[in-house]
Amino acid sequence: MRKQFVAVSLLALVGVVLAALAYFGPRTGVNGTGGALLALVGAACVMLGSLLAAAPVVRGGGLAALLILVGVGAILTAAAAFFLMQYGFAIAMVLTLVGLMAAAVLSWRESP
């Protein structure tokens, strides 16, 4: 288990929670909109992707491809959150991205 990616998934979980509040919460300005739902799904995918990256069975090229996908997902989700004017959510996704990059570097250094 790569614990650093578990930590990244927790950051993404914060994004999921904030996205859920934006979508389901009353009077957020974006509640019930397709854009907020898309961002919620994006944050959830980033979280699941980060968890998957923590699994030791994912290695080598597969891990690299997964991390690229999760990183792109985090960027797009952060952009979506920005245009939804959900700035806390956007910051959470940027931190997720930063965490993901840091975790990737750590993972690369630790690899035999």
Among residues 3, 24, 29, 68, the one that binds another protein under rule CB under 8 A: 29
**Residue 35 binds another protein (CB under 8 A):** yes
In the list 43, 80, 90, 94, the residue contacting another protein (rule: CB under 8 A) is 80
Three-state secondary structure call for residue 79: helix
Residue in the structure block whose two tokens are 């090229």? 61
Contact in structure between 99 and 7 (CB atoms under 8 Å): yes
Taking the complex as a whole, how short is the minimal distance between the CB of residue 85 and another protein, in angstroms?
5
18 makes contact with another protein (CB under 8 A): no
CB–CB of 25/19 below 8 Å?
A: no
- Binding segment for another protein (CB under 8 A), chosen from 1-9, 25-33, 41-49, 57-65, is 25-33
The burial of 76, by beta-carbon neighbours within 10 Å (0-12 exposed, 13-18 middle, 19 or more buried), is given as: middle
Please report how close the Cβ of residue 58 comes to another protein at its closest, in angstroms: 33
